[in-house]
Structure 1
Amino acid sequence: MNPTTLKCTVRYDGTNFSGWQRQDNQRTVQGEIEAALSKIANRAVTIQGAGRTDAGVHALGQVFSCRWRGTPPQRLAHALSRMLKPEIRIESIEQAAPDFNARFDAVDKSYHYTFDFNRFPDPLLARYAWHMPGTPDLDLLKQCLSQVVGTHDFAGFQSAGNQMKNTVRTIFSADFAPGGLMVAPAMEGVYSMKLRGNGFLYRMVRNLAGTLVEIARGRFGADFITESLLRGGPFLGMCAPAHGLVMVNVNYDTEPPPHRHEIPLHDEMFPSNMDLLG
């Protein structure tokens, strides 16, 4: 039987994982999926994720690709669901074009970061929202966040650990709005930063989230984001904790948004120079 290429969508709670990418002697999402696939196939199977999320980061729509022969996609999805721990769930598996690559074929990705501004933390939100007591100026934060929309050099929002040579990225949309992916719609005091772009530097989303908190606290002015984009690195603010971040969606639309081919279409959410071929 000739091998085929699979496109797989997965969600996971990243709390107890050392990130997405396989690491020696560490529990990772990629490592657990590869172990399950290898057991089913009775041979070593490697996968290629669309983005390499850091330790503690969650995903609702991570995508990975792999070369596969044997069990049909529908049966494979059920088999994996039975084998994987409850923190990981396979949402869908479908056959893709032979040269499909989950990382390099992505048009854009979406991330949400959730804040809990209530006076006391909610225990049911503890894994999914950054508790920062206070009353933010919603209009101010929306105005500040709008400064990232467009094509910019984001070197000023890249953490040390994986310094990319090309730090230009395009953000298609950015919003700061009430609510969160993991909370009831009517819950007060919870807000989310929502970003969609064609690539993100290492900890760029978390650094932007931390910057919004610093602006809300008055440490930085309303023009700090624009000034950082013009100034370049290093990042001068506070990095938000990992648990508030969710990879929401990876888009492979055949109709690319504006600027698709102006910059590399990849993430550096996790510090590594290793490219794993599926």
Structure 2
Amino acid sequence: MARIVLGIEYDGSGFSGWQWQPNQRSVQSELEKVLSKVANRPVTTICAGRTDAGVHALEQVVHCDVDVGREFHAWLLGGNSYLPDDIRIIWVKQAVSDFHARYSAIARLYRYIILNRPVKSALQGKQVTWCYYPLDAEVMNKAAQHLVGNHDFSSFRAQGCQSKSAFRMVHFVDVCREGDTVIIQICANAFLHHMVRNITGVLMDIGMGKQAEDWALTLLAAKKRELGGVTAPPYGLYLVSVYYPACYGMSKHPAFNKLPEDAKRFD
């Protein structure tokens, strides 16, 4: 049995999410169906972080155990030749040592893109979230800094979140404006269900002037989801990259250079 690791890119707008669901189109089901065809036997995958319906990935990391001899280019080219147009395998490599796509990860990086102009996009309807009301990205960025650190994010988790603990370590949050686009980038050791979308909803209310800059801090202290405002839509959300200890030989996204040294202690 050999373990291979794959980088997967997908447009989540046509899927019920990453995970297998009965009678639903999921990224996992499409990918496993194709990998099983290449292997000529069933293949099961495990990902770094399950994404919700409508959420995209620039580099989801997946591993699977296979007992057939295939060159890496066979998985890459063969897999992509069978995959639908909204999923692509972007790289394949041999797993090093005890690598596990989920449990070996130190941090995940997400990006949320908001088109902030009076008119919706004709081209990016399912790739960005549209907000016609002017957003103050500088104020949003200041508010976001209250979330950095190890906190109880109960006010920012979905009501049905199944995680046993609401504590997460947020390494950094950046909010900036590029023309008509406001971009939120957030990195944490892991995320609760809907955590990024709920944080985005709070920051958007602050950016519109509906709430004060310290509202995010107030919500952290409250630990009550019902006080936390609107959950932002899924379409502007992207899993950008996953950070692993250097011993696994995985490439690092440049944004991870901002990780504090204690988060990179395994490197």
1:11 to 9, 12, 19: 9
Aligned pair partner of 2:198 in 188, 191, 207: 207
Question: Is it true that 1:115 corresponds to 2:106 in the alignment?
Answer: no
* Alignment check: 8 A CA contact 2:104 2:244 kept: yes
Equivalent-residue separation in structure 2 for 1:252 and 1:235 (angstroms): 34
Q: 2:108·2:188 contact (CA, 8 Å) conserved in 1?
A: yes
CA contact (8 A) 1:19 1:54 kept: yes
Alpha-carbon separation, structure 2, partners of 1:35 and 1:74: 18
Aligned match of 2:183: 192
Change (3 A) 1:31 1:257: farther
Unaligned runs of 5+ in 1: 180-187, 262-278
Cα distance in 2 for partners of 1:142, 1:128 equals 22
**Residues 153-172 of structure 1: pairs in structure 2 closer than 5 A:** 153-172=152-171
Residue of structure 1 in register with 2:254 after alignment:
none
Q: Distance in 2 between matches of 1:100 and 1:240?
A: 33
**Secondary structure, aligned partner of 2:101:** coil
Offset, 1:260: 4.6
**Greater RCO (CA < 8 Å, at least 6 residues apart):** 1
Structure 2 unmatched runs, 5+: 248-258
1:39 Cα deviation after fit: 1.5
Other-structure match for 1:77: 76
TM-score by length of 2: 0.89
- CA displacement at 1:230 relative to structure 2: 1.4
**RMSD across aligned positions (CA):** 1.8
The question of whether the paired residues in 2 share the 8 Å contact of 1:158 and 1:233 is answered with no
Counterpart residue type for residue 47 of structure 1: T
Distance (whole Å) between structure 1 residues aligned to residue 193 and residue 261 of structure 2? 23
Compare the two structures and name the one with the higher helix fraction: 2
Report the AA paired with residue 206 of structure 1. Answer: R
Amino acid at match of 2:128: A
Contact between 1:49 and 1:65, CA under 8 Å: does it hold in 2? Answer: yes
Contact 1:5 1:98 in 2 (8 A): no
Map residues 48-59 of structure 1 onto 2, 5 A cutoff: 48-59=46-57
Structure 1 residues 56-115: Cα deviation after superposition (integer angstroms, max 9, x where no partner): 000001000000222122221110010101100101000012532101111111000011
- Dislocated runs of 4+, deviation >4 Å: 255-261
- Would you say 1:248 and 2:246 are equivalent positions? no
Q: Match of 1:33, SS? A: helix
Q: 2:221 aligns with which of 213, 227, 230?
A: 230
Q: Which residue of 1 is the match for residue 27 of structure 2?
A: 29
Output one character per residue of 1:241-267: Cα deviation in whole Å (capped at 9) or x when no partner.
Answer: 000100000111338955559xxxxxx
Q: What amino acid does structure 1 have at the position aligned with 2:6?
A: C
- Once the two structures are TM-superposed, the CA of residue 150 in structure 1 deviates from its matched residue by 1.2
